[in-house]
Structure formats: C-alpha cells, structure tokens
C-alpha cells in the first residue's frame, strides 16, 4: 500500500558538514543510501535535491549512490544577484550535471526568483537547455502566483518549455498558498509538491519553547550548521504556543503531532491528484515512521477541527509563501 499522494524523498539533509551545509545532517554516502533504500522499498521513485543543498555536496552524494528507477529533480538557486542570467543558469546546470554524474535530471527548478535579471532572459536560457536535452521538465519554487502567471504567459507566447510543477511550503499551520497560488496552479494545470510538511520540524513536537529552539544544536536550527537557522527561528518562534496547544489537544486522542500533520496533508488539505509531498528523515526508523504516517487513513472530524483551530491561531504569524 502507498499513500494517497506520492511521496518524494528530500535529499536536503545529505552533504558534508560545514558552515554552508544548510543543515545537512547525513554526512556519509552509506547512511544516505540506507535511507534511499528504505524509501524505494515502499514503491516511491523520486529524489529531490538542489545545487544549494549541502553546499553542492548533496548532488555529489547522489552520484555515488544506487537509485534504482528513481527520478532525480534538482534546482538552481540565485545566491547572488545576476545568477539567473543566461550564463548563470547554464553554469549552475552544468555544475549539477557534473555533480550528479550518472544520474539524469528529470525536473529542473528555479529555486526562487532572481528579480535582478529580466525573467525573459532566464526563461530563454531554461528553454535552450531543455532543447539541448539536459532535463525532462521545468519547475518553479517559491514564486508569487502573479509571477507564475507571467512565466506561463511568456513561455506560451514564445513556445518555450512551460513549468509543469511548483514546489512550495505547505502544512497544517502554513496554508498561505491556498488563497491565490493554488487557484493559479489549478488554472494552468501545474502540479504542487509540498515541502516542509512538518513546518521545518516544528510539528515533530519536540520544540515546545523558544529555549528548546535556540539551544538545539547540529541541525537546521543551529546557526553554526545552517545559515538559514536565523530565518527559521524568526519564522517559527511565534508559532510555538500554537503547536504546544495543538499537541496537548492531540494527546487526548492518542495521536502524535507529526502523524496528525501528515494525515491532514494526505486527506484533508487542498492537495489533489497530481500533487505530492516531500519527506525526509535522519534515520531509517524515523523514515519508516514518517512513511507509515503518510499511509494512514483520514482523521476524525474532531481532530480536523483541532488542526483548523491551530491554523486560525497561526495565520497572523504565517509567512508569505513566496520568497
């Protein structure tokens, strides 16, 4: 049995340690292979990575791994102004192809907007690379709905490769995508892949105070490991009281917080066939539990009501879906 919506394995945790590792915590190829083997054993077949992940070493890890029939998706990130110029896009894709080695790229994403470069230049470069056969399909991530519509318009007029998938943040306490982005994607027939299903790990239920957040070491919350840690802390600290109350409510129903969050995404969210959910884990045991949560059935009306109340409380603090 598989989950109602497909699961994509996020390889953002793969990579060598260091100040630019962006929270990578799987530091050996052997450990990474164990996780991917577990993922594949459940019948899933897509690995998601990016040039940004592990400072580029996530892709390098994958090149040394056996991925079976899995597809590999990757992304180009505008770390500096101008990175989405024609030259910058081509250079980034070249680095990804070299790093991935024997594995081809299925989906090539623009990881987030680079508004210092005319979007036509970026899209022309993407189309040129697509025409050269370097990837199979084009995706967007972290763009505004109006930017998605603009991109679809430009690619349609020029008969360039169009985006067919959008990867964005979506979970039980971060639903800002529902208002304008989802209607836009549905209109253009673009699938949505939800990353951060557990709100950056907050919905795991282990961080129930700001002190617990600021003292956590060795992962995405630690500024010494990830330069994104200050952003994560600023984003999620105001939501801690909401999560604490939600956990207390779920305890009464004998439900774990991450289980409820994953089951909500699978059965009660605005996701539909053609969409998918990204998952990750630090151990095989944790991954088995995550996948099991995703395969479980719908929640009771009372539990869905608890999650809805949590969203209403979190909404004033929820960040905008686009970067």
- For residue 87, being part of any structural domain is answered with yes
The total of structural domains in the chain comes to 1
Region for 65 from its dihedrals, namely left if φ exceeds 0, alpha if ψ lies in -120 to 50, beta otherwise? beta
- For residue 229, being part of any structural domain is answered with no
CATH number at residue 292: 3.20.20.100
| Rounded Cα gap, residues 122 and 105, in angstroms | 18
Active-site annotation holder among 44, 53, 166, 195 = 53
Sign of the torsion formed by the C-alpha atoms of 304, 306, 309 and 314: negative
SS3 188: helix
| Rounded Cα gap, residues 63 and 55, in angstroms | 15
- For residue 241, being part of any structural domain is answered with no
Q: 107-142, pLDDT tens digit by residue?
A: 999 999 999 999 999 999 999 999 999 999 999 999
Residue 227: pLDDT band (50, 70, 90) is confident
- For residue 136, being part of any structural domain is answered with yes
Residue 2: pLDDT band (50, 70, 90) is confident
SS3 82: coil
Region for 135 from its dihedrals, namely left if φ exceeds 0, alpha if ψ lies in -120 to 50, beta otherwise? beta
Question: Does the predicted TM-score (pTM) go above 0.85?
Answer: yes
Q: Is 39 a catalytic residue?
A: no
Q: Report the half-sphere exposure of 180 (CA within 13 A, side-chain side).
A: 10
Burial 156-187 (b: 16+ CB within 10 A, else e): eeeebbbbbbbbbbbbbbbbbbeebbbebbee
- For residue 296, being part of any structural domain is answered with yes
DSSP states along 11-79: GGGBS--STTSTT--B-SHHHHHHHHHHHHHTT--EEE--TTGGGGHHHHHHHTS--TT-EEEEEE---
Q: 272-295, pLDDT tens digit by residue?
A: 999 999 999 999 999 999 999 999
pLDDT at 218 over 80: no
- For residue 105, being part of any structural domain is answered with yes
- For residue 60, being part of any structural domain is answered with yes
The percentage of the chain sitting over the pLDDT mark of 70, rounded to a whole number, equals 99
| Rounded Cα gap, residues 228 and 181, in angstroms | 24
Nearest to 135, CA basis, from 184, 183, 100, 84: 100
- For residue 161, being part of any structural domain is answered with yes
289: containing domain: 7-204+259-300
CA distances from 80 to 50, 84, 234 (A): 16, 9, 23
């Amino acid at each position: 049995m598989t989950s109602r919506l497909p699961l994509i394995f996020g390889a953002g945790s793969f990579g060598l340690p260091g100040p630019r590792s962006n929270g990578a915590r799987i530091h050996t190829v052997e450990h990474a292979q164990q996780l991917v083997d577990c993922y594949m054993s459940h019948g899933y077949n897509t690995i998601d990575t990016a040039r940004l992940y592990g400072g580029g070493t996530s892709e390098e890890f994958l090149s040394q791994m056996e991925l079976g029939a899995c597809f590999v998706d990757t992304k180009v990130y505008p770390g500096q102004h101008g990175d989405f110029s024609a030259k910058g896009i081509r250079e980034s894709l070249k680095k990804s192809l070299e790093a991935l080695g024997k594995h081809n790229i299925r989906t090539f994403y623009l990881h987030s907007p680079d508004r210092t470069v005319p979007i036509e230049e970026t899209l022309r470069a993407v189309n040129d690379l697509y025409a050269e056969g370097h990837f199979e399909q084009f995706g967007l991530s972290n763009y505004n709905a109006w930017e998605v519509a603009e991109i679809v318009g430009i690619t349609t007029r020029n008969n360039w490769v169009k985006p067919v998938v959008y990867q964005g943040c979506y979970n039980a306490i971060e639903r800002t995508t529902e208002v304008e982005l989802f209607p836009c994607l549905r209109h253009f027939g673009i699938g949505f892949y939800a990353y951060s299903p557990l709100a950056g790990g907050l919905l795991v239920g282990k961080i129930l105070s700001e002190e617990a957040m600021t003292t956590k070491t060795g992962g995405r919350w630690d500024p010494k490991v990830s330069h994104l840690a200050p952003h994560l802390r600023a984003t999620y600290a105001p939501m801690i009281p909401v999560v604490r109350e939600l956990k207390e409510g779920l305890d009464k129903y004998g439900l774990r917080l991450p289980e409820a969050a994953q089951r909500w995404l699978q059965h009660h969210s605005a996701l539909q066939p053609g969409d998918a959910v990204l998952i990750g884990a630090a151990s095989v045991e944790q991954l088995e539990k995550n996948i099991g949560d995703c395969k479980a059935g719908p929640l009771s009306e009372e539990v869905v009501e608890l999650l809805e109340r949590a969203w209403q409380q979190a909404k004033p603090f929820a960040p905008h879906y686009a970067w």
